[in-house]
Amino acid sequence: MSCWSTLSFYIDAPFNSRSIFDFAGKEARSGQLERELGVQGAWDDPDSAQRAAQELNRLQVEMRDLASLEARSRDLLELAELADDDPAMGDQVGRELSSLADEMAKRELDLLFQDPYSDYPALLSVHAGAGGTDAQDWADMLLRMYLRWADRRGLQTSLIDQSEGEEAGLKSATVRLEGAHAYGRLRAEKGVHRLVRISPFDSQHRRHTAFALVEVYPEIPDEVEVEIDEKDVRVDVYRSSGAGGQHVNKTSSAVRITHLPTGIVVTCQNERSQQQNRETAWRVLRSRLLDYQRAQRAEHLADLKGDQISPEWGNQIRSYVLQPYTMVKDARTGYETGNVDAVLNEGDLDPFIEAFLRQEATGRERID
């Protein structure tokens, strides 16, 4: 019974997967979506129907995976009961248990995406903070890091707007990311990021500190109501200053929308036409205003609105140190790694994101 005693606790866990992972809720929601999509005229609104179909497909995949997980746990339970009499079978049980534990950990992580907008596309903006040219170069490095992370996870990305730095890097940039738990994961990145390194812009090769602010918002679909009074909005058009060819740079295609009551400013200049830029800018404004309204209702504006944080010393959520040693450390969770290259150049952010989500789920105090 020694093998059984050792493994029983872990093997029993998947048996509860139907309740732990809300199988009944997924099944009920799947049935509801099937009925809605089967009604005549359901596809008259193709955008809404497409979102429902995508949700249905995701739920069906999740239920199929959970059923497979339960079946594997039952098979493993039977093997464990026989393993004491067969050492070779004990090795097989150990390998299968390790594989099953890894799969359970992945499923457990799914439970951490409790924000109602977790599955929505994310709008991520990076702004250079204190540090001059180094800060603008740092903003550019962060943008590349997030694009590399998105590529690793199979997320679709599109650049909405960018403002080049005077000497190098970026003053700011906004990118849209779409894919599984895009906003649910990236909201962990909201805050001030600090870089310490030997500055490539200092002729005396001194160590410099630079800061950048990362903002993250869920992209809100049209059916979600966000009240915007037209008299509260100012729309300006101007010539794009970024890349994009002669058409973009020689016509007033760029759009800037200012929401006067809140001071929120949104710009878009990466589409070819003014109308396309205007539509994109309005989507971003709606998303930012909803985030603002959510923050006010929750009475935690400073917690939810990254632009309320000054991008300078003392406010960082994470530090990236290249000199005199190498380390990336998150101030909120304490998670750290010495492999800076994997983080900055390969986009290896998942351990930081998962540490934040797990800490948040436990209700422990954190720094944003």
Q: Is residue 52 part of a domain?
A: yes
161 shares its domain with 213: yes
* Within-domain flag for 116: no
Which residues neighbour 45 within 8 Å (Cβ) at sequence distance 6 or greater?
A: none
Residues composing the chain: 368
**CATH code of the domain covering residue 83:** 1.20.58.410
Report if residue 281 sits inside a domain: yes
Distance CA 127, CA 173 (A): 7
* Whether pLDDT at 60 is above 90: no
**Percent of the chain surpassing pLDDT 70:** 82
Tokens of 354: 């998962």
CB 311 within 8 A of CB 336: no
Last-in-domain residue among 110, 145, 163 = 110
Task: For residue 262, count other CB atoms closer than 10 A to its CB.
Answer: 15
Q: Provide the 10 A C-beta neighbour count for residue 176.
A: 20
Range of the domain at 357: 122-223+306-362
Domain count, the chain: 3
Specify the DSSP class assigned to residue 178.
E
Q: Are residues 100 and 194 in the same domain?
A: no
DSSP 221: P
Phi, psi of 270 (to 5 degrees): -95, -10
The interaxial angle of helices 87-110 and 2-15, nearest 10 deg, is: 30
Say how far apart CA 219 and CA 45 lie, in whole Å.
19
215 and 339 belong to one structural domain: yes
298, 327, 344 — which closes off a domain?
298
Instruction: Output the CA–CA distances (angstroms, integers) from residue 239 to 78, 227, 245, 312, in the order listed.
Output: 70, 29, 12, 31
User: Do 79 and 101 fall into the same domain?
Assistant: yes
The reply to whether 200 and 250 lie within a common domain is no
Q: Which two tokens stand for residue 194?
A: 């600090």
pLDDT in tens, 266-316: 988 877 788 888 888 888 888 888 888 777 765 544 454 444 555 555 679
Same domain assignment for residues 14 and 94: yes
pLDDT tens per residue across span 181-215: 999 999 999 999 999 999 999 889 899 999 999 99
Give the tens place of pLDDT for each residue, 79-107. Answer: 777 766 666 677 777 788 888 877 777 77
CA distance 205 to 26: 57
Residue 103 lies in a domain: yes
Are residues 87 and 177 located together in one domain of the fold?
A: no
State residue 364's pLDDT score. Answer: 52
Contacts of 49 (CB under 8 A, 6+ apart): 37, 42, 43
**What band does 335 get if pLDDT is binned at 50, 70 and 90?**
very high
